């Protein structure tokens, strides 16, 4: 007696993508989500009329036809679409010595860079020219055609041979680090820090730790498909995937925390929910992180011990301090929506609190804040270790948020007087609401020093999707992981 064909644990973008596609392929799918709001790291929450993105706000190619974004490919086959607002410049990077507007059009950005370092601008062009052909080669093979097992080989050869051949000269780049491309093309220290910063924003690691295809994808998408913000915030993407899931006959159960994955003789049977209810299915897909899946959701005896050990040995990127603000918007016309502030050039950009990301999405979508107001999200990396809900907690929280306020003051000098709603999130908040091990951003797997683990597990019928599986962290990457897994489960 099965309750469904497939159970998906978690409604992050990876889980929802896999679930909705499998529903589209005719499977009966149940998604169990612990939280009362779907979307995981990409969920949007509402307080006193303000709609806050909990995480992502930077998107490329969500709606344009030429885009490589897997989210767009999945929404197309589900019969769903998004409304979005294109914008440019995509952001301002503020260093102590200069602020740099970054445009979708790389020529415009390089013109701005030439005002700071003319030689650096030329070197950056060489760097981009090395990476962009990889993006062009990727274009011929849609993610939607791929799967996470050997059966991808006949598909690639049978349907995509010309594109595959185009890819061959770029194969060495596929596993290369961005750092190796940078070493071969860029000497200028200012540009090297800029490249490190862009890699850090994407992967949580600097250039030598980040794989080249990740940056090639973003450079290509932002210059060729354009930067855009979904109307309604990240929730718009989540809602479109949920609509797709339901339209194709499957269901999402919110507030349904999975306590355990049920396994017998190394074969999955289903899941047990917190209240003891059991749901049975021959296939279970976990969208929980690698650490949570292998150490919390499975019993030690269900796994070869080498597996749980390897899972715990995967290094995590730090967690975050978040500052979510509702502010008065009077006099703030022509505000740019994205900013990155590096406080101190003598400190490494990865030092917690030194690099702060700011997003003000009501600049693009006024419905996210009450009239006359803006919604602000500022965040920076913060280690999980040392955080406890003790007597010190409130004080420490206020103190750690100051780096975010100082970053915001560079954009809106009187920000503190404008605040009508303040929410400060710590690594504990992040871990709690996102149900993520130590509130991590994702695995810190350095390029060249290991691969992201794939969807397979040693348990028959149990698979994994999300940012701790290939192809990695970020909304397009986790959507791709959902596609690879779903495709592998059908003929």
Q: Which residues bind ligand FAD (CB under 6 A)?
A: 9-15, 32-35, 40-42, 55-58, 257-258, 287-288, 292, 297, 320, 379, 434-436, 441-442, 466-467, 473-476, 478
Rounded least distance, CB 18 to ligand FAD, Å: 9
Instruction: Write the DSSP string, 176-197.
Output: SBHHHHHHHH---HHHHHHHHH
For residues 216 and 213, give the distance between their C-alpha atoms in angstroms, rounded to a whole number. 5
Rounded least distance, CB 271 to ligand FAD, Å: 8
Which is nearer to ligand FAD, 316 or 466 (by Cβ)? 466
Residue 39: its H or E element? none
Rounded least distance, CB 439 to ligand FAD, Å: 9
Which is nearer to ligand FAD, 167 or 268 (by Cβ)? 268
Which is nearer to ligand FAD, 17 or 180 (by Cβ)? 17
Which is nearer to ligand FAD, 9 or 78 (by Cβ)? 9
Which is nearer to ligand FAD, 10 or 244 (by Cβ)? 10
For residues 194 and 207, give the distance between their C-alpha atoms in angstroms, rounded to a whole number. 10
Which is nearer to ligand FAD, 56 or 461 (by Cβ)? 56
In the numeric block, the tokens 């303000």 are attached to: 50
Rounded least distance, CB 257 to ligand FAD, Å: 5
Rounded least distance, CB 491 to ligand FAD, Å: 25
Which is nearer to ligand FAD, 106 or 475 (by Cβ)? 475
Among the listed residues 112, 60, 82, the one whose alpha carbon sits nearest the alpha carbon of residue 222: 60
Instruction: Write the DSSP string, 427-487.
Output: HHHHHHHHT-GGG-SSB---TTS-----SB-SSBTEEE-STTSTT-SSHHHHHHHHHHHHH
Rounded least distance, CB 296 to ligand FAD, Å: 7
Instruction: Write the DSSP string, 89-102.
Output: S-EEEEETTEEEEE
Rounded least distance, CB 401 to ligand FAD, Å: 15
Distances (CA, A) of 394 to 387, 399, 401, 425, 430: 11, 9, 11, 11, 16
Is it true that the peptide bond before 471 is cis, omega within 30 degrees of 0? yes
């Amino acid at each position: 007696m099965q309750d469904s064909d497939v159970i998906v644990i978690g409604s992050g973008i990876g889980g929802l993508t896999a679930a909705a596609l499998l529903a589209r392929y005719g499977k009966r799918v149940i998604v169990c989500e612990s939280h009362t709001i779907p979307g995981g790291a990409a969920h949007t929450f509402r307080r006193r009329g303000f709609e806050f993105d909990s995480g992502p706000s930077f998107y490329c190619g969500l709606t344009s036809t030429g885009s490589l974004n897997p989210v767009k490919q999945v929404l197309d086959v589900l019969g769903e679409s998004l409304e979005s607002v294109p914008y440019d410049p995509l952001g301002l990077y503020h260093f102590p010595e200069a602020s740099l507007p970054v445009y979708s059009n790389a020529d415009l950005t390089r013109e701005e860079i030439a005002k700071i370092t003319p030689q650096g601008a030329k070197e950056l062009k060489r760097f981009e020219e090395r990476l962009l052909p990889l993006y062009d080669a990727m274009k011929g093979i849609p993610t939607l055609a791929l799967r996470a097992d050997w059966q991808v080989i006949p598909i690639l050869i049978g349907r995509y041979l010309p594109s595959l051949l185009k890819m061959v000269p770029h194969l060495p780049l596929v596993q290369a680090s961005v750092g190796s491309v940078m070493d071969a093309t860029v000497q200028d220290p200012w540009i090297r820090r800029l490249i490190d910063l862009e890699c850090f924003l994407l992967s949580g690691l600097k250039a030598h730790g980040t794989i080249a295809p990740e940056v090639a994808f973003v450079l290509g998408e932002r210059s060729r498909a354009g930067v855009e913000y979904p109307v309604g915030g990240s929730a718009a993407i989540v809602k479109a995937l949920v609509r797709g899931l339901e339209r194709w006959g499957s269901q999402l159960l919110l507030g349904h925390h999975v306590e355990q994955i049920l396994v017998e003789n190394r074969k999955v049977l289903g899941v047990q929910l917190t209240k003891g209810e059991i749901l049975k299915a021959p296939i279970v897909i976990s969208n929980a992180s690698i650490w949570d899946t292998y150490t919390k959701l499975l019993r030690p005896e269900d796994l070869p011990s080498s597996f749980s050990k390897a899972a715990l040995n995967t290094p995590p990127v730090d967690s975050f301090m978040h500052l979510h603000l509702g502010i008065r918007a009077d006099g703030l016309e022509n505000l740019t929506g994205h900013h990155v502030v590096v406080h101190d050039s003598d400190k490494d950009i990865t030092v917690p609190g030194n690099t702060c990301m700011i997003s003000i999405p009501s600049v693009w979508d006024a419905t996210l804040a009450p009239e006359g107001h803006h919604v602000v999200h500022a965040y920076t990396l913060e280690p999980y270790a040392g955080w406890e809900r003790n007597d010190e907690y409130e004080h420490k929280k206020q103190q750690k948020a100051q780096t975010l306020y100082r970053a915001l003051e560079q954009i809106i000098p009187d920000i503190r007087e404008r605040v009508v709603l303040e929410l400060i999130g710590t690594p504990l908040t992040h871990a709690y609401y996102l149900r993520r091990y130590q509130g991590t951003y994702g695995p810190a797997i350095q390029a060249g020093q290991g691969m992201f683990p794939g969807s397979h597990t040693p348990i028959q019928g149990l698979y994994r999707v999300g940012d701790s599986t290939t192809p990695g962290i970020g909304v397009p990457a986790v959507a791709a992981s959902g596609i690879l897994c779903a495709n592998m489960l059908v003929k």
